[in-house]
Amino acid sequence: MSARPEHTPAPTRLSDYRPPAWRVDAVQLDFDLGIDTSEVTARLQLRRDDAQDEPLRLDGEGLELLSITLDGEALAPTAWRYADHVLEIDGARDGSVLETRVRLKPAANTALEGLYLSGSREAGFLLTQCEAQGFRHITFFPDRPDVLATYTVTLRADRERFPILLAGGNPDGTGELEGGRHWARFVDPHPKPSYLFALVAGRLEKIERDYTTADGHAVKLVMWSEANVIDRCHYALDALERAMRWDEQTYDRNYDLDVFHVVATHDFNMGAMENKGLNIFNAKYLLADPDSTTDDEYRAVEAVVAHEYFHNWSGNRVTCRDWFQLSLKEGLTVFREQSFSADMNSAPLKRIEDVSLLRRAQFTEDAGPLAHPVRPSEYREINNFYTATVYEKGSELVRMTAGRLGRDGFRRGMDRYFERNDGRAATIEDFLTALGEANDIDLSPNLAWYGQAGTPRLKARGDYDAARHQYTLTLSQHTPPSHGQPHKQPVPIPVKLALFGHDGRMLPLHLDGQAAAGETESVVVLDQPEHSFVFRDVAEKPVPSLLRGFSAPVILECDYAPHELALLLTHDVDGFNRWEAGQQLAARAFDALRDGGDDAAPVAWCDALAALFTLAELDDALLAGLLTPPGELELADRQPDADPARIHALRQSLLQRLASRIGAAALHARYQSLAAPTELDLGAAGQGMRRLKRRVLELLALIDAERAHALAAAQYDNAHGMTDRLAALDVLVRNQATQGDAALAHFRARYDDNALALDKWFMVQAQIPGEPALARVQALEADPKFTLKNPNRARALLGTFASANPSGFHRADGAGYVLFAERLAQLDALNPQIAARLATAFNGWKRLEPVRREAAREAMAQLLGRPALSRNLGEILGNMLQ
Ligand code: ARG
Ligand code: ZN
């Protein structure tokens, strides 16, 4: 027995992987459901691996074992042992059937993992969450993704209290029982790992639709929710149908059961879950209506609905061998989801949004002590590895491979991948092998990307030889060391590029062995530490547009002159790179303000944007994006000894300069021209207008506060939908306008019974910049609607404060850290997954200036020293402090 405290168990290592000694081919589960106690009988059909001589060991946590039989005989007490979350059984043979009966306490389950209660005891419903290791909280089982079984699930419960009984798979009968009880059975013919098991039971309403797959299979699509929100499920049902069609058309993937159920809950640790045939969603990603849902949220609903649906192939039919391969399903599915969203909406805007998120969440993660490879080599708590690196960087790695193979080649490779691995638990090697073999390409060098933490730096230097009309582009790469990885390998970096002349037009490319001569865009691959690419017949000194479309997840270091970035910002036809040039230029302008450097960058940035502002043909949404410099977190990443208060102030003054340069009159005129049309247009044009309108109002508030606040107050009162209403509220509250309190009170009363809208009310206030934020957060904690027990509410107030309000959270006196650490301790006792997730807000602490750095370290160290910390929070804090 080890004396390790609970929060430092021995790590699980990829290199220790062994195939299961015992498999389960078929499972029969019988549930007797109740709010306070539920009982579960599991019959497992066992298969032994002859090559391994191991006793039968099953995972089980928090289970009260009621009975246990092997091949129909009660097991003698000496024939089994249950300790340290493992049940060990003597005497099992190949083909044996093991039956266990256990008791669970759903209403007492505040961790929201396994079987738990959503909502109140009187009106709520029961549901499960099993990924990654929740199934062991339901029954004894080899709870690992490479054990695939067919499931037959029978649910029994009181009919009055639980009229709806659902589990994954196809319906297989219902009936009455004595004493007002009833039953329902579901059979899932597709072998699946235990993390994809799900059930739901309670009072739920539905909307449904018939769907016929491209290969002719009739499917019932059903959305379920509590009665008061069922009319907000229509948008998600439409999105589901779009996603199903898209996957048929794009990848020839058809759905494979007779029913597809989707359930909304307000009590959920994550976004959503792809359980086979029974997806379960955080209500935030399923419910939508114009009155309470913003444009961004509409797009998020569409994306998450598609994401979970796409998992049916990338995740369920082909699953992961072990949890180290998590990105095999998540990176791939994020990529599929992003491609779908790009097809449904504007592709360049989608790319801008995705890269912004990557930088804000993943680059920062990769630059701090929590940095880890897309395929980690060890973990203590797998739930801590559902990260931006595994998801978003994982998607970028798939995107690079897709780009390399081209549209048809990637499709050929995906066909091969699905065909070879259907019904299997696969690895990232299996993925690259299938894609490579289908295209006669060796993709194994890409593995280097999966095994290394840290964001590669790509340095670019251009030399123009006027006499020989030759342009030499020298690229070099370097990945900084990270914990446990002092030396990094070079990785293959695809650099999509174009060369611009001084008039803003692309020059024809003549590059040996690369582009077809005369094309204006090409891709070069840097797969060594440094390489020079020579372009011939270049008529003038060009401005290179590099990494177009963000062709690789790297940090580009190129010593552009400000006017060169301004040229790209004005002329690049690659919408992404145009925005990117603006981001680079804004960051340079920010540095100049900070360091008191020369004025070239601020002037170039403001001038270029002021000119673009008047261009009629520029897309509203793109213009709004161009008018937004990198956020405070990204800017903080650019420097050691960051002072978040100063960064906030400098960024504000940069924006103020931009606003002055455009001018109050022009801003006001533009605002008026964008002001609300009478009908709410939820399409791209309407969304773009609202986005730009908000940006313009925010800029105007910096130079003519009184007028802007009056406009915002009027916009709040007259808004046709949540996007305009929330934007107005946000402008009033952040700028501490006198009209802000009335608007907040109105919002609060109007949405009193709408949990998702109220979350936004908490979020807006948690983002008040600077000193006043802490007192506001404390006041809101006393609000009767605040509770740590609901993950969405805890995230809305505490998560927003710590992760999205740097100037408010990172106070020099450390009071933000003290409050937050105290709440993390309380949360940890209720829900370790949420506590650990929120705690990552500290990840950037080592780059803070010394006073804040020490205060943050102190708060974390004190928290880590508390007794009975969870493994989840213990691992995150331990890693951050290492
Ligand atoms: N697989 C789910 C998805 O679609 C997320 C599950 C997250 N699980 C967790 N333990 N954090 O991305
Ligand atoms: Zn996923």
The model's pLDDT over 452-486, given as tens digits with 9 standing for 90+, comes to 999 999 999 999 999 999 999 999 999 999 999 99
- Distance of alpha carbon 19 from alpha carbon 649, whole angstroms: 56
Q: Annotated catalytic sites, by residue?
A: 308
- Distance of alpha carbon 14 from alpha carbon 429, whole angstroms: 13
Taking only the tens place, the pLDDT of each residue in 2-19 is 334 555 679 999 999 999
Taking only the tens place, the pLDDT of each residue in 602-612 is 999 999 999 99
Per-residue pLDDT at 515: 56
Q: What is the dihedral of CA 569, 575, 581, 586, to 10 degrees?
A: 90
SS3 273: strand
Helix (H) or strand (E) run with residue 88 in it: strand 86-89
Taking only the tens place, the pLDDT of each residue in 270-310 is 999 999 999 999 999 999 999 999 999 999 999 999 999 99
Taking only the tens place, the pLDDT of each residue in 481-526 is 999 999 999 999 999 999 999 999 999 999 976 656 679 999 999 9
Per-residue pLDDT at 514: 65
What are residue 149's phi and psi, to 5 degrees? -140, 160
Please report, for residues 23, 136, 188, 404, the alpha-carbon distance to residue 47 in angstroms, rounded to integers and kept in the order given: 5, 19, 19, 42
SS3 326: helix
Question: Does the pLDDT at position 673 exceed 90?
Answer: yes
**CB–CB of 546/497 below 8 Å?**
yes
Which residues are registered as beta bridge partners of 544?
499
Kindly identify the ligand whose nearest atom is closest to the C-alpha of 274.
1
- Distance of alpha carbon 675 from alpha carbon 724, whole angstroms: 10
Taking only the tens place, the pLDDT of each residue in 81-121 is 999 999 999 999 999 999 999 999 999 999 999 999 999 99
Question: Does the pLDDT at position 845 exceed 50?
Answer: yes
For atom 2 of ligand 1, which residue has the closest CA? 273
- Distance of alpha carbon 44 from alpha carbon 857, whole angstroms: 48
Give me 864's structure tokens. Answer: 């880590």
Strands 319-320 and 425-426: parallel
pLDDT, averaged across the chain:
97
For atom 3 of ligand 1, which residue has the closest CA? 273
Per-residue pLDDT at 516: 66
What one-character-per-residue DSSP string does 452-504 give? --SPPEEEEEEEEETTTTEEEEEEEEE---BTTB-S-----EEEEEEEE-TTS
Closest alpha carbon to 225 in 66, 81, 119, 85: 119
Atom of ligand 1 nearest to the CA of 269: 11
Give me 356's structure tokens. Answer: 């912004």
- The gap from C-alpha 437 to its chain's centroid, in whole angstroms, comes to 31
Interface confidence, given as ipTM, is 0.98
| pTM, to two decimals | 0.98
Bond from prior residue into 132 cis (ω within 30 degrees of 0): yes
What one-character-per-residue DSSP string does 292-353 give? T--HHHHHHHHHHHHHHHHTTTBTTTBEESSGGGHHHHHHHHHHHHHHHHHHHS-HHHHHHH
- Distance of alpha carbon 815 from alpha carbon 806, whole angstroms: 13
Question: Does the pLDDT at position 1 exceed 90?
Answer: no
Q: For the chain, what percent of residues have pLDDT higher than 90?
A: 96
Atom of ligand 1 nearest to the CA of 386: 11
For atom 5 of ligand 1, which residue has the closest CA? 273
Residue 178 alpha carbon to ligand 1 centre in Å: 38
Per-residue pLDDT at 617: 86
Q: CB under 8 Å to 732, separation ≥6 — which residues?
A: 709, 712, 713, 716, 739, 740, 743
Give me 61's structure tokens. Answer: 């946590």
506: DSSP letter: B
Q: Quickly count: other Cβ atoms within 10 Å of residue 199's Cβ.
A: 25
Helix (H) or strand (E) run with residue 245 in it: helix 234-251
Taking only the tens place, the pLDDT of each residue in 147-182 is 999 999 999 999 999 999 999 999 999 999 999 999
676: DSSP letter: -
Q: CB under 8 Å to 503, separation ≥6 — which residues?
A: none
Atom of ligand 1 nearest to the CA of 315: 1
Give me 555's structure tokens. Answer: 């940090």
Determine whether 503 is exposed, middle or buried from the number of CB atoms within 10 Å of its CB (0-12, 13-18, 19+).
Answer: exposed
Average pLDDT of the residues in 628-632 = 97
For atom 4 of ligand 1, which residue has the closest CA? 273
What is the identity of the amino acid at 750? R
- Distance of alpha carbon 152 from alpha carbon 142, whole angstroms: 17
Residue 309 alpha carbon to ligand 2 centre in Å: 9
Helix (H) or strand (E) run with residue 272 in it: strand 272-273
Residue 362 alpha carbon to ligand 1 centre in Å: 17
What is the maximal distance between C-alpha atoms in the chain? 95
Average pLDDT of the residues in 649-654 = 98
Average pLDDT of the residues in 642-667 = 98
Q: Which of 136, 386, 840 for mutating ligand 1's site (highest number of atoms within 8 Å of CB)?
A: 386
Residues with CB under 6 A from ligand 1: 131-132, 270, 272-274, 307-308, 330, 383, 386
Q: Which of 112, 197, 270, 330 for mutating ligand 1's site (highest number of atoms within 8 Å of CB)?
A: 270
For atom 1 of ligand 1, which residue has the closest CA? 273
- pLDDT band of 701, cuts 50, 70, 90: very high
- Distance of alpha carbon 480 from alpha carbon 367, whole angstroms: 9
Question: Does the pLDDT at position 676 exceed 80?
Answer: no
Token pair 């145009």 is found at 578
Residue 80 alpha carbon to ligand 1 centre in Å: 33
Average pLDDT of the residues in 393-421 = 98
